[in-house]
Amino acid sequence: MKDSIQLKSFIKSLLTTLALTLNVLIIYQNKVNNTNIFQVELSTVALLFALFYFLYKKKKIKLDSGSLFLAHLFSFFMLFGNSYLKLDSWNLVFGNLKMMAISAFLYLGYFYLFSYLIHFIENLWLNFSFPEIKGKRRTLFRKFRQALEEHPIRTSFLVLLIFWSIYIIAFYPIILSPDPSFQIKMYFNEHTKYIDWVIRRSPKVNLTTHHPIIHTFLLGGAIQLGRLIGSDNFGLLIYSLFQTAVLAATLSYTIYYTKKLKISNSVRLLLLAIYALVPMFPFYAMSGVKDTIYTCLVILYTMFLLDILLFKKDRKFSLFEIIENTCLIILLMLFRNNGIYVILLSLPFLFLIRKLDQKKMGVILGSSLAIYFVIVKIVIPGMGISDGSIREALSIPFQQTARYVKEHGESIKKEERKAIDKVLGYEDLKERYDPIKADPVKNEFNKDATSEDLKEYFKFWFQGLLKHPDTYLQATMNNVYGYFYPNSTRWYIYYKYDNRITQNDLVDYHYNSLSGIRNVLTGYGVSFPYIPGIGLISNIGFSSWVLFLLVYFVIKQKKKELLIVLAPSLASLLICVASPVNCYFRYAMPYVFMLPFLIVTIQFILNKKEGNYEKKQFKNRSADSLL
């Protein structure tokens, strides 16, 4: 019996060590010879083997079907993610019989590792509680803690502004990347590539709905306000200060909410430290992208869902609450074109809760959608603003077609080439194909393509699916794997100076002379994801894994109502999968920014022994009273 345990532990340790260290790329490329076949030194390999042997030999675990499923899922992500990261294909897994055999062993190694990790995390999840920090001496830290407890929103807001002020000063007036720069040009009715992609609604209007109109007007309006007061740069500063305040206030509200739930004060200190010190928060506070305010709205919407489940299931909504939440939902849908999907994939599930005031909830949902459609279908078209291109919704099939042309172009018939050419342009399609970014392919979409042209194209697309489904599957996996693979980190923060809006003296935008400080902050921001441990806070793939773990814990502990709270984050992840770019941080911001709050809050709710949140428990403790 003892020998059997030792043998099993030896095999598990060997496979796990190989999964983490073996350089499968050089094996696939037949470059082994006398080189080290591992990605680390042999001494590190030996140390890891000994560590895993001790772990597997010491502890025997039992897993339920949910944890087994997650262990398999994470192993799949690691195996295929590495292959696509290295080769843009699954050849490191299915390249030949040798690679398939090696991959099977590596898969088992990952599976054993994740089985133990999930078991460890589950035990920690069930038994861990954040300590209450106390101190008798009247120190400055104690006074700060007291201020945070008595006025969590105000204190957190001021602390965040203090810590973020160095970014505000260094990147004055704002960090502009291509998207907001084009938005500003559109606001001033300049010709941009977006108007070339669509059928004009008015020959005099260069605006399109490719970017949210409300955010475009907010950016442009701030510049015009700045011109009235002082300068274009000052107007851009007005916008960045407004956005910074919105983000700081939203994050401060999450800290207040932990006070409302009576979670330990150490949680508030932890969240505040994360928000103040992790660079993704101040960098995106100063970035003029639409995603920052949208992320704030998704966070507030998630807290609205949580508030309903914990405190409002058995009571009526007031008129103020109906108006307040309707405005929140409308803004969420307006600040990103795909925001409506977050609402449709989450809010309707509230109607499954029996005690909820469903009539008032129906008023909120119905009025929100009605007003939204009036704005996007009547008001915006009435202003002569052109609709965005249908290409934005077709990234997945377009990428599949481009990969098909690249890999099987010789088998495509003449009439099929014509069908593709009328929609995407065939001649240089395989050269334009980028496995992790659909823009080069979809940006050549023929805006004049008729419904008949699209019908013929999709006829070819479906035939290609039947002939080479593996090609289509690989195209999609290649374009999304980074959202599930923690070792992939791309397009993290913006920091470069973008001069698009300065052309033709459109806007007087320039950085200040503090390039040295900007370089230091940029170095910290760019390197943060690679800091062991804490760097995972800003890791997209890891954040997706944590979301899956939260779903598992919620289901296992029979609190399935909390899935509604996770729905906006899960919907955001689905939107990432359908997006044109792999592992794009802006797209994942809603659930990455929200995750620290979700983890501590759901962990507390699931493990709270009373399991009951009475309205009277928080009597006279509104947000205003805690300011």
Q: How far apart are CA 439 and CA 179, in angstroms?
A: 13
Banded pLDDT at 619 (limits 50, 70, 90): very low
Give the residue among 592, 597, 578 at the shortest CA–CA distance from 491: 592
Name the percent of the chain lying above pLDDT 70. Answer: 95
End-to-end CA distance of the chain: 63
Does the pLDDT at position 623 exceed 60?
no
Return the pLDDT at 5: 74
pLDDT for 314 beyond 80: no
Q: How far apart are CA 141 and CA 455, in angstroms?
A: 67
Residue 581 pairs in a beta bridge with 437
Cα distance between residue 408 and residue 567, in whole Å: 39
User: How confident is the model over 525-543, as pLDDT tens digits?
Assistant: 999 999 999 999 999 999 9
Residue 313 CA: distances (Å) to CA of 238, 298, 362 = 40, 21, 14
Q: Per-residue pLDDT tens for 432-489?
A: 999 999 999 999 999 999 999 999 999 999 999 999 999 999 999 999 999 999 998 8
Residue 135 has pLDDT above 80, yes or no: no
Which one-letter DSSP state was computed for residue 392?
A: G
pTM score: 0.94
Residue 492 has what pLDDT? 81
Look at the block and give the residue holding tokens 């399609």: 429
How does pLDDT run across 198-250, given as a tens digit for each residue? 999 999 999 999 999 999 999 999 999 999 998 999 999 999 999 999 999 99
pLDDT at 611: 42
Lowest mean pLDDT among 126-130, 277-281, 609-613: 609-613
3 state SS for 508-576: CCCCCCCHHHHHHHHHHHHHHHHCCCHHHHHCHHHHHHHHHHHHHHHHHCCCHHHHHHHHHHHHHHHHH
Our separate counts of H helices and E strands in the chain read: 29, 0
Rounded Cα distance between 10 and 89, Å, is 32
- For residue 180, pLDDT over 50 is answered with yes
Residue 113: CB atoms within 10 Å: 24
**pLDDT value at position 608?**
78
Over range 166-194, report the average pLDDT. 96
Residue corresponding to tokens 């104690």: 142
Closest CA to 184 of 228, 230, 222: 222
Under 8 Å between Cβ of 618 and 434: no
Q: Which residues have C-beta within 8 Å of that of residue 382, sequence separation ≥ 6?
A: none
In the prediction, which pLDDT does 354 show?
66
Q: pLDDT grade, residue 618 (50/70/90)?
A: very low
pLDDT at 2: 66
Q: Tell me 386's DSSP state.
A: B
Please state, in angstroms and rounded to a whole number, the distance separating the CA atoms of residues 615 and 156.
25
- Give Cβ neighbours of residue 127 (< 8 Å, ≥ 6 apart): none
**Helix/strand/coil percent split, the chain, to 5:** 70, 0, 30
- Taking Cα atoms as reference points, which of 251, 258, 290 lies closest to residue 160? 251
Q: 407 CB contacts (<8 Å, ≥6 apart)?
A: 468, 471
Give the separation between CA 387 and CA 197, rounded to whole angstroms. Answer: 10
**Model pLDDT, residue 128:** 85
Which of 209, 251, 552, 520 lies closest to 393 in space, CA to CA?
A: 209
Confidence of residue 620 (pLDDT cuts 50, 70, 90): very low
Distance, in Å, from the CA atom of 532 to the CA atom of 529, rounded to the nearest integer, reads 8
pLDDT digits (tens, 9 = 90+) for 332-346: 999 999 999 999 999
CA distances, 412 to each of 190, 212, 424, 473, 574 (Å):
41, 39, 15, 19, 32
pLDDT of residue 129: 85
Q: Which of 195-204, 267-276, 354-363 has the lowest mean pLDDT?
A: 354-363
Give yes or no for a contact between 175 and 168, defined as CB atoms under 8 angstroms apart. no
Rounded distance between C-alpha atoms, residue 136 and residue 21, angstroms:
50
As a whole number of angstroms, the longest Cα–Cα distance in the chain is 84
How confident is the prediction for the chain on average, in pLDDT?
92
Strand-pair partners of 208: 386
Q: What is the pLDDT of residue 139?
A: 80
Is-contact 270 600, C-beta < 8 A? Answer: yes
Helix ranges (H only) for 263-379 are 265-277, 280-285, 291-311, 319-335, 339-344, 358-374
- DSSP lists the bridge partners of residue 434 as 437
Distance CA 185, CA 207 (A): 9
Decide if pLDDT at 407 tops 80.
Answer: yes
Model confidence at 609: pLDDT above 60: no
Label residue 353 by pLDDT band (50, 70, 90). confident
Closest by Cα among 120, 122, 96, 114 to 20: 114
Residue 624 predicted with pLDDT over 90: no
pLDDT tens digits along 79-102: 999 999 999 999 999 999 999 999
Strand partners, 437: 434, 581
